[in-house]
Structure 1
Amino acid sequence: MTLRRRFTFFTIFWLIFILILFNIFVYLFVIKITMRSEEQLLTNKVNILLEDPRVDNIAGLSDPELLRDYYNVNELIRIVTPDGKTINSQGSDPELIALETTFSSQFETGMLLVEGRRVIYMEVPLYEGHKVIGKIQLYRKLTLLDSYLQVLVIALTVTSAGAILFAILGTYWFTSRLTSPIQHMVQTMREIDRSGKLRKIELNGKDQSAELEQLARAFNQMIEKLDRTFARQRQFVADASHELKTPLTVISSYANMLSRWGRDNDNVRDEAIEAIVKESERLQNLTKSMLVLAEAEQEDWLKLETFDLVQLADETADMLYTTFQRIIRVHTPKTDVKVSADKDKIRQLLVILLDNAIKYSKEPIDITIAITKGNVRLSVSDKGIGIPESDMSHLFERFYRVDGARRRTTGGVGLGLSIAKRIVDLHEGQIDVFSKPNQGTTITVAIPQKK
């Protein structure tokens, strides 16, 4: 069932339910108010009748003139003795006259139905001293009330039917306007699925609610994000194809040269083997970096734990000193700095930053760790060749290398800083680069101490 039909049925159901309750309330309220008014009229008539001195003795109760002055149309007034006999009566309505004559010494009032018509009655005992000598019985047909109730029922039925019809039309019109942006969104999705081209939904704030406008904006933001993601994927595939093409071409060329002249020429064979090994290692590193970067795109890539960042920095510095014989100094005002993060990813981040510093500088490298305003700041500084200002905005782009002429000598593939940036982003941190040509570079990472 569509949302429009569900909303329409739900609205009509509750409208009918509310109308039924309202009509019942109005119907009973009118009856109650009318009954109260009629009871008051009967009470006033009885009070006036009781003030007549003839009701104080049995002889006066039999006087035909006693009840004649108080009689109205659609009424029956009679006096009944304790033995159940009627000694005085005024009334012309045969249905009221046919009512059974009973006697009780209690005051009674209420309503009964006679041939489907409402009749209000009141029975008042009469005393001579302390002895009950009779009882006045007043019956009054509520003909006017029945007429009013018939008109009221017809009016409530007509108005309720009109309200329901209006509600159906209004709800259908309203739900049509309400679901129009959703239908437009579904149509846009189907068009995207059919054509394969991403499209946004046109926003029209005058014709839709704030919630639907937010939904449309969220959809457009998702489309923008998908568009950027697809663009990055296309760029990544193009860059990866370009990067893979070079080492594969070199390996293929040297393999052909080795097969032609390498058997008889030792120099050609050694040169070819050395080039193939070098390019194979480069190809292996490139493939490994691409796989790591692909994994880094996942939101659940991190495994958080609490560890000592100073100890991790010392271990990483010692490992790289053993590998490259380069001095790496760790500076920190505290002996230990606890941080909640992914230990392996932070170690990988340190290795990437230190590896770049080792490649592009000859002087000792400094690692500085500090805590400021709930963030842990990690800085890696070198005294190397620095980075030109024109290249600063492209540092974290995939496959981007500052100096294209030296990229073969450094062996980089241009993915290290992209991976580092992704690690920092997943830790909800920030990475900044400060550099001047021929003076050195400092890369500072700030991540929350407790994520």
Structure 2
Amino acid sequence: MKINTKINLITTIWIICVLVIVNIVVFYSFMTVTVNVEKKVVLQNASAILEDINHGDTDAVIEKKLSKYLTHGSFIRILDDHSKIIHQVTNNKELANKIKARFSRKTISDRYLVHLAQREEQILVVRIPIESNGKVIETLEIGERLVGLELGKDVLLSILIFCTIMGALISLIGGKWLSNIIIRPVSNMIDTMEEIEQSGITKRMVIDQQPKDELQKMAVTFNRMMDRLDINIEKQQQFISDASHELKTPITVIKSYADFLRRRGIQNKEVALDAVEVIHSEATRIQQMTERFLDLANTDLENELEKKSIDLVALCKEIVKQLHSTYKRDLLLHYKEKTITVIADELKLKQVIIILLDNAIKYSSDQIDIYLENQKNGTIIRVKDYGIGIPKEEINNVFERFYRVDKARNRETGGTGLGLSIAKNIMKQHNGEIKVNSTEGVGTEVELFLPKD
């Protein structure tokens, strides 16, 4: 079943239920109010009768006085304590015979539905106790036809049924109109998705100038999702293009030297060793590039971090020791506190610091300073070198994949242009930041910020 059909049926059923409940309340309220009005009039007549009758009056006098209070189609009785009729006057004997006399010690009222010849009548019977010396000795029983009640009830029922049917019809029409309004953006989105599926080209939903609501928000979110998808597709295509370009050069070099060895053979040992050395160097470069690709893909996936409490000072000391023994460079670690604790993924944080130090080693020849600062809202790690620096107009591009400021020099150092992209992704996973400040010919300072949480 379609959603608009469900909405239509649900709203219609709901409206009908509400109307039925309202109709029941209206009907019983009408019946109660009408009967209470009649009851009030009968009680007033009963009070007048009790004041008019004297205990010394004869039966003829009492019945004459009772007759004055008769209305059309009514009866008045006086009963003893055994429910026996002592006095009775009526202008509708058939009606009086239908209602059984009943003695009562308190004022009560009852409504009866009496079946008379070819019709039904609503009868209101009121019973009022008659006291003497503080004791109830008799009961005054008055019965009257509720002349307008049966007719009013039938008219009211007809009106209520008609209104319920009209309400249901209006609800069906309104429900269909409402469901169309609600479903239209969803239908547009489905059509757009189907077009995207068939053509493979992303499209946007047309947003009408309407009040901002959940439906418009859904359309805006869909368009924003398509924008992000386009960006990701563009990045993926750019990545494939850049990766292909980066791999093409070393593969070409390897192929060229392999062809050279195949044509010339290995008779000239010195030339052959040079060719093998170049092939090994380029193969190593491809291996490093592939590892970088895997690191970048892993950080792009934003896998769950294995966070734990880390002693940053001890971690940096270990990294400095390893790199010093490998590159024989002066790496100076500066810190004011003996222990600086951070919550992070140790392996990934170590990877970021090594990337920064590796870049500093490649592009400088002097000492490299590492500063650790423990602040109120977070921890800062700064890596500062005194090398070639980065031109001011190039700083915003250093986090782009495969971007290299000095491409010729980069080939000498074996860089891939992926390190800072990987570092930025890892810091993003830690809700941290990475900033680069550099002056060409003076040096570069890279700052990492890890929040306290």
TM-score for both structures, normalised by structure 1:
0.94
Q: 1:448 corresponds to which residue?
A: 451
Q: Report the aligned-residue RMSD.
A: 1.9
| Cα shift readout 1:330-354 (whole Å, capped 9, x = no counterpart) | 1112111111111100100011000
Aligned length: 448
Cα contact 2:80–2:103 (8 A) shared by 1:
no
Q: 1:399 corresponds to which residue?
A: 402
Residue 265 to residue 103, structure 1, CA distance change in 2 (3 Å): closer
| Cα shift readout 1:97-149 (whole Å, capped 9, x = no counterpart) | 22254342523422122124321101234456577664332111112011111
Q: 1:383 corresponds to which residue?
A: 386
- Tell me whether 1:165 sits opposite 2:169 in the alignment: yes
SS at match of 1:185: helix
Q: 1:327 corresponds to which residue?
A: 330
Q: 2:295 corresponds to which residue?
A: 292
Q: 1:98 corresponds to which residue?
A: 97
Q: 2:42 corresponds to which residue?
A: 42
Q: 1:52 corresponds to which residue?
A: 52
How far 1:302 sits from its partner (Å)?
Answer: 2.1
- Between the aligned partners of 1:291 and 1:130, the Cα distance in structure 2 is 107
SS at match of 1:51: helix
Q: Which moved more, 1:343-352 or 1:86-95?
A: 86-95
Residue 105 to residue 335, structure 1, CA distance change in 2 (3 Å): closer
| Cα shift readout 1:403-436 (whole Å, capped 9, x = no counterpart) | 0111221110111111111111111111111111
How far 1:227 sits from its partner (Å)?
Answer: 0.7
Cα contact 2:329–2:367 (8 A) shared by 1:
yes
- Tell me whether 1:144 sits opposite 2:148 in the alignment: yes
Residue 326 to residue 97, structure 1, CA distance change in 2 (3 Å): same
Which of 201, 218, 222 pairs up with 1:219? Answer: 222
- Tell me whether 1:186 sits opposite 2:190 in the alignment: yes
Q: Which moved more, 1:56-65 or 1:21-30?
A: 56-65
Which of 285, 301, 306 pairs up with 1:303? Answer: 306
How far 1:328 sits from its partner (Å)?
Answer: 0.7
Which of 410, 413, 416 pairs up with 2:416? Answer: 413
Cα contact 2:79–2:103 (8 A) shared by 1:
no
SS at match of 1:98: helix
Q: Which amino acid aligns with 1:263?
A: I
How far 1:90 sits from its partner (Å)?
Answer: 2.8
- Between the aligned partners of 1:133 and 1:325, the Cα distance in structure 2 is 127
Which of 199, 206, 209 pairs up with 1:205? Answer: 209
- Tell me whether 1:113 sits opposite 2:116 in the alignment: no
Q: 1:76 corresponds to which residue?
A: 75
How far 1:209 sits from its partner (Å)?
Answer: 4.8
Residue 235 to residue 225, structure 1, CA distance change in 2 (3 Å): same
- Between the aligned partners of 2:289 and 2:82, the Cα distance in structure 1 is 120
Percent identity of the aligned residues?
A: 34
> Gaps spanning 5+ residues in structure 1: where?
none
| Cα shift readout 1:278-336 (whole Å, capped 9, x = no counterpart) | 00000100111011111111122422111011111111011000110011111112111
Cα contact 1:57–1:128 (8 A) shared by 2:
no
Cα contact 2:112–2:124 (8 A) shared by 1:
yes
Q: 1:352 corresponds to which residue?
A: 355
Which of 237, 244, 247 pairs up with 2:247? Answer: 244
> Gaps spanning 5+ residues in structure 2: where?
none
- Between the aligned partners of 2:446 and 2:424, the Cα distance in structure 1 is 11
- Between the aligned partners of 1:36 and 1:83, the Cα distance in structure 2 is 28
- Between the aligned partners of 1:389 and 1:123, the Cα distance in structure 2 is 106
Cα contact 1:431–1:446 (8 A) shared by 2:
yes
Residue 112 to residue 261, structure 1, CA distance change in 2 (3 Å): same
Q: Which amino acid aligns with 1:19?
A: L
| Cα shift readout 1:240-289 (whole Å, capped 9, x = no counterpart) | 00011111111011011111213211122011100000000001001110
Q: Which moved more, 1:441-450 or 1:241-250?
A: 441-450
- Between the aligned partners of 1:394 and 1:263, the Cα distance in structure 2 is 45
- Between the aligned partners of 1:127 and 1:338, the Cα distance in structure 2 is 98
Q: 1:31 corresponds to which residue?
A: 31
Residue 53 to residue 393, structure 1, CA distance change in 2 (3 Å): closer
TM-score for both structures, normalised by structure 2:
0.94
Q: 1:156 corresponds to which residue?
A: 160
How far 1:81 sits from its partner (Å)?
Answer: 4.7
Q: Which moved more, 1:173-182 or 1:82-91?
A: 82-91
